[in-house]
């Protein structure tokens, strides 16, 4: 019976697919761990920067920088969308593109200019398909984005912002909350709000209550050349670190999304194999039964 | 400082903690020249320039290129925050020259763009100095 052979063929192909998805799951797991380690290693820098900003604020410096100031009129808004280069990661790219495209149409209502930049092949093709013009595309970011590459983008955004070519910069990425929760978000990166000094000092107050003495020592910082000159450098550095964090979050979330998608794909393939095996066995059994019946019929006819 | 005879030096880049070492003394490339740090230095926050970070220990002197950033001297150590930490050998003279040309060609017609240009110039010059 052709049906039996067909069933067997299908079962074999599903088995092959299961092998692939299982391997992809394992690879995604390994990459996720690596990306996670990188993200964890990067927190040291952010912590230190925050510490310096706190020290600056504690020394009575007024925190002001061109990157922190909102422009009076918002005419041009840039949006940067961080998607993956590869698919097969469930709703990761789709939901991010949806969020980003929605924000973009909101932007177009308010502002009449601005660039749309997309990182990741998936996002690029999705935007092209939707007919949204893209000014810049990046495809060099994989599961381990390098700071140098991100810093280039950051410096360009800083330049555009301080020179008045753009009045706001939004970034759409998948924020990593925990290994079981990642959400696509759109955040406004410029004017920069990452230096929330008041809340920093509030958290520091509770954290260092027991080490009051240490806090007193920390207050006596000498600033070279002076506090405001350091601030001039801290703000861009902090912005670069913030953007880098977005890329790292996106990379970690992508691997998790792929891991989950491939896990369910493997499980689903298992279920399909089970179903196919059952149908196959049933068909084979009925074929055997039928053959026996035919033989018995033949013997009876002879006798 | 951790002890009276040694300085704990930690170099952090946005990617990871690059260096965590004890040394007898260290020299930092500040924005306006070198600054030496000995054990027991008073707390300080300073801006770094583009130059060599030198670590002096019993085994000799080691040097790294520091790509701007900050230094924070606290009681428990010297924290260097920089974009990149490279061995001096890793700096290519040719690309440094190209960077200098690019920086010189930048348009600077507002105070903000001027500061961007100056930064790029200082970075390229710092690299060029080391590579020669």
Q: What is the distance in angstroms between the Cα of B51 and the nearest Cα belonging to chain A?
A: 17
Per-residue pLDDT of A129-168, as tens digits, reads 998 889 999 998 888 888 889 988 998 898 888 888 889 9
- Judged by average pLDDT, the poorest of A31-35, A213-217, B123-127 is A213-217
A143 or A254, higher pLDDT: A254
Tell me, what's the pLDDT at A290?
94
Q: List the one residue out of A24, A86, A22, A89 whose CA is nearest residue A268.
A: A22
Tell me, what's the pLDDT at B3?
54
Domain ranges for chain A, please list them.
Answer: 2-25+260-302, 35-206+218-257
Computed from CA positions of residues B14, A163, A226, A195, in that sequence, does the dihedral angle turn out positive or negative? negative
Contact A230 B79 (CB under 8 A): no
A chain contacts of residue B107, beta-carbon cutoff 8 Å: none
Task: Tell me the C-alpha distance between A226 and A61, whole Å.
Answer: 10
Tell me, what's the pLDDT at A118?
93
Mean pLDDT of B67-82: 89
ipTM over 0.85: no
Task: Tell me the C-alpha distance between A165 and A284, whole Å.
Answer: 72
Residue B52 CB neighbours (<10 A): 17
Tell me which residue in B42, B68, B83 faces A222 most closely, judged by beta carbons. B42
Per-residue pLDDT of B32-41, as tens digits, reads 889 999 988 8
Angle, in degrees to the nearest 10, between helices A227-302 and A2-58: 170
Mean pLDDT of B84-105: 86
Residue B11's DSSP bridge partners are B19, B80
- Right CATH for A2-25+260-302 from 1.10.287.80, 2.40.30.10, 1.10.150.120, 3.40.50.10470: 1.10.287.80
Task: Tell me the C-alpha distance between B100 and B97, whole Å.
Answer: 5
Residue of chain A minimizing CA distance to B30: A224
Tell me which residue in B35, B42, B112 faces A163 most closely, judged by beta carbons. B112
Residue A14 has pLDDT above 90, yes or no: yes
Superfamily covering domain A35-206+218-257: ATP synthase, F1 complex, gamma subunit (3.40.1380.10)
Residue of chain B minimizing CA distance to A41: B16
Tell me, what's the pLDDT at A205?
41
Residue A272 has pLDDT above 50, yes or no: yes
Residues of A with CB under 8 A from a CB of B: 38, 41-42, 44-45, 48-49, 51-52, 55-56, 66, 146-148, 151, 155, 158-159, 162-164, 214, 217-218, 220-225, 229-230, 232-234, 237, 240-241, 244
Tokens of A84: 């993956």
**In the β-sheet with A77-82, what is the strand arrangement from edge to edge?**
A136-138, A116-119, A77-82, A168-178, A181-190
Residue A227 has pLDDT above 70, yes or no: yes
Residue B72 has pLDDT above 50, yes or no: yes
A225: cis peptide before it, omega within 30°? Answer: yes
Q: Which of A38, A42, A44 best tests the B interface by mutation, with the highest count of B CBs <10 A?
A: A44
Mean pLDDT of A209-233: 67
Per-residue pLDDT of A172-219, as tens digits, reads 999 999 988 999 999 998 888 766 554 444 344 444 444 444 444 445
Tell me, what's the pLDDT at A23?
96
In CATH terms, is domain B7-86 a member of 2.60.15.10?
Answer: yes
Residue of chain A minimizing CA distance to B11: A45
Contact B14 A52 (CB under 8 A): no
Tell me, what's the pLDDT at A70?
84
């Amino acid at each position: 019976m052709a049906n039996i052979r067909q069933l067997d063929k299908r079962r074999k192909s599903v088995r092959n697919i299961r092998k692939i998805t299982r391997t992809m799951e394992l690879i995604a797991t390994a990459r996720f761990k690596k990306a996670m380690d990188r993200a964890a290693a990067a927190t040291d820098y952010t912590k230190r920067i925050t510490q310096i900003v706190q020290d600056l604020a504690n020394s009575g410096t007024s925190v002001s920088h061109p990157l922190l100031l909102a422009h009076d009129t918002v005419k041009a808004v840039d949006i940067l969308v961080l998607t993956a280069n590869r698919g097969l990661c469930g709703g990761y790219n789709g939901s991010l593109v949806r969020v980003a495209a929605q924000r973009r149409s909101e932007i177009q209502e308010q502002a009449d200019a601005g660039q749309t930049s997309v990182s990741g092949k998936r996002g690029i093709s999705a935007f092209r398909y939707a007919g949204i013009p893209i000014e810049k595309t990046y495809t060099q970011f994989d599961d381990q984005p390098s700071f140098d590459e991100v810093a280039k983008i950051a410096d360009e955004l800083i330049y555009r912002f301080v020179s008045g070519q753009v009045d706001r910069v939004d970034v759409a990425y998948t924020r990593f909350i925990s290994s079981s929760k990642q959400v696509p978000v759109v955040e406004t990166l410029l004017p920069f709000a990452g230096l929330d000094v008041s809340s920093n000092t509030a958290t520091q107050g509770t954290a260092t209550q027991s080490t009051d003495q240490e806090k007193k020592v920390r207050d006596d910082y000498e600033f070279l050349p002076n506090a405001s000159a350091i601030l001039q450098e801290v703000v861009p550095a902090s912005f670069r670190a913030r953007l880098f964090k977005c890329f790292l979050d996106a990379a970690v979330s992508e691997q998790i999304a792929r891991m989950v998608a491939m896990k369910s794909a493997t499980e689903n393939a298992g279920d399909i194999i089970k179903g196919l095996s059952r149908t196959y066995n049933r068909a084979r059994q009925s074929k055997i039964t039928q053959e026996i019946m035919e033989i018995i019929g033949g013997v009876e006819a002879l006798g | 400082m951790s002890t009276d005879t040694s300085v704990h030096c930690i170099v952090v880049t946005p990617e990871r903690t690059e260096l965590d070492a004890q040394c007898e003394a260290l020299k930092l490339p500040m924005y306006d020249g070198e600054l030496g740090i000995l054990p027991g230095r008073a707390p300080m926050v300073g801006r770094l320039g583009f130059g060599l970070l030198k670590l002096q220990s019993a085994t000799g002197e080691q040097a790294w290129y520091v790509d701007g950033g900050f230094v924070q001297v606290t009681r428990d150590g010297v924290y260097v925050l920089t974009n990149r930490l490279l061995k001096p050998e890793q700096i290519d003279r040719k690309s440094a020259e190209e960077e200098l040309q690019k920086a010189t060609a930048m348009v600077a017609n507002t105070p903000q763009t001027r500061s961007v240009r100056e930064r790029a110039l200082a970075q390229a010059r710092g690299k060029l100095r080391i590579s020669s």
